[in-house]
Amino acid sequence: PELFPEALQFSIDEQRREYLAVADNPAAPTFANTIEAMEKAGQRLGRVLSIFGVMTDNLSTPEYQALDKEWQPKLSAASDEITLNPQLFQRVETLYNARDTLGLDAKQTRLLTRIYESFVRNGAKLDPQQKVQLSQFNQELASAFSDFNARLLADEGTYTAANAGEMKGVPQDVRDAALAAGKEKGLPPGVYAIRNTRSAVEPVLTFGDNRDLRRRVFQAFTNRGDNGNANDTNAIIAKIVKLRADRARLLGYPSHAHWRMQDTMAKTPERAMDLMQRVWPAAVKRVGEEVADMTALARKQGFKGRIEPWDYRYYQEKVRKARFNLSEEEIKPYFELSNLVNGMFWSAGQLYDLQFKENTGAVPVFHPDVRTFEVTDGKTGKVVGLFYLDTYAREGKRSGAWMTTYRSRAGLLGDDIVLASNNNNFTKPSAGQPVLISLDDASTLFHEFGHAIHYLLVDVNYPSLGGAQRDFVEYPSQVNENWLLTRQVLDRFARHYKTGQPMPTALVDKIKKADTFNQGFATV
């Protein structure tokens, strides 16, 4: 962490000089001396921020949190300095207004249009006084988000303690991991610690027979940031909502949603809401039917109460077992993590000619658990990227699953090697135990890998055209989930961790038959 202040300041100063050189160029604006020059500017800061983001997301110590709080407002100000520079915008606007006469190809026209629209959307046409106010809003938001993330992470670092009796019904591998976590936390012998992360919480909610433990675990997880303690985020959320609304009005939009949706395929909140409202009534109706099924089964088993949120997954699993003779516990022995990683690599080779060869230890990583893989084009043998796989939950790692690019491919910059990473929060097993994951976690594994494939295959000249709108970027990842349950992948890689036998056809058929089970809850 002590290396970052100098790196950040040096990179911000360098970026300022690079953009001022464009803005103050005495020559008339051209696509080359303005748009292409801007595409090349600030590259060092981008690289530093990639690494900074990895540290604050994956290994956030108090030192990194303090850095984040200090530097996020400064980084926001550095970004505004570019967007709100009148000379720079004048050059962009001059080119944009003459775009049909510049002899640009379709990609260059797209790039120019996107840059112009981004400048306008982010305040380039405001008057000087409004620009000062906008930058203040942006810096306050940056600081508020840093506080929010730090408090959320602190709550996710907590745990629910349980004794052996309370853990009845919970799968053995989950119990082993929770017992190891209890030991790591310094709890008395035999006391289990259920980490406040999804992959640790959901097996307890699904299989734990002790209703009070399910309630405690559920409330701890869903009330992250909403529990009146030092990590409470309600006041910060209120501040963020107010700042966003004020900023949107300053920029000429009816709401933050209208401003935020400009650079998406949907374009407006009304169109997005229309899509959701077409799905919502049917999904809610289906949830009602699902709860009725659970209640009927629970009554037969002597439960007289109401199905509460902490009961939902528990009775859902029992209904699935009764209706389809299928349980998550039946699936997990075939879903050993290393085998599934090999399966997702194999399918990427079949579909996209990407080959993955492990080279862990050959390149530096930020934590010993991170594995690395050299990625080559299967047709030519050419190295196209490096893939980092960070699998396990840990202290200081934010929850969820995500993909990061340390570096993207862009012809203009001469960058041809993509550095991509996948980050998950699976529960790390006790020493020597296999990592058995649920069907949901396996889908997540393939989902995030879909993002990595997307960026490993990106081939653009201009770096700004290498990304995707926020409501499109989930498409490649959701498509990749579909390969998990194909017979070709299951036969080769869904093999029982003890016997090595492939998943039986009858079990695959049951999974497929139950595919739409509980989709009301999943959708809502």
CA distances from 88 to 114, 151, 329, 424 (A): 15, 38, 60, 41
Which whole-number Å values give the CA distances from 511 to 490, 507, 517, in the listed order? 12, 6, 10
Q: Which of 184, 395, 448, 474 is catalytic?
A: 448
* Three-state DSSP class for residue 336: strand
**DSSP structure class, residue 376:** E
Report the distance separating Cα 385 and Cα 455, nearest Å. 10
Q: Which of 401, 379, 377 is nearest to 451 (CA)?
A: 401
**What is the DSSP annotation of 161-192?**
EE-TGGGTTS-HHHHHHHHHHHHHTTPPTT-E
Q: Which residues have CB under 8 Å from 260's CB, separation 6+?
A: none
Is 448 in the active site? yes
Tokens of 284: 């809610």
Q: How far apart are CA 103 and CA 109, in angstroms?
A: 9
CA–CA gap between residue 305 and residue 308 (Å, rounded)? 9
Residues linked to residue 160 through DSSP beta bridges, in sequence order = 194
- Residue 210, φ and ψ in degrees, nearest 5: -80, 110
Question: Which amino acids are annotated catalytic?
Answer: 448
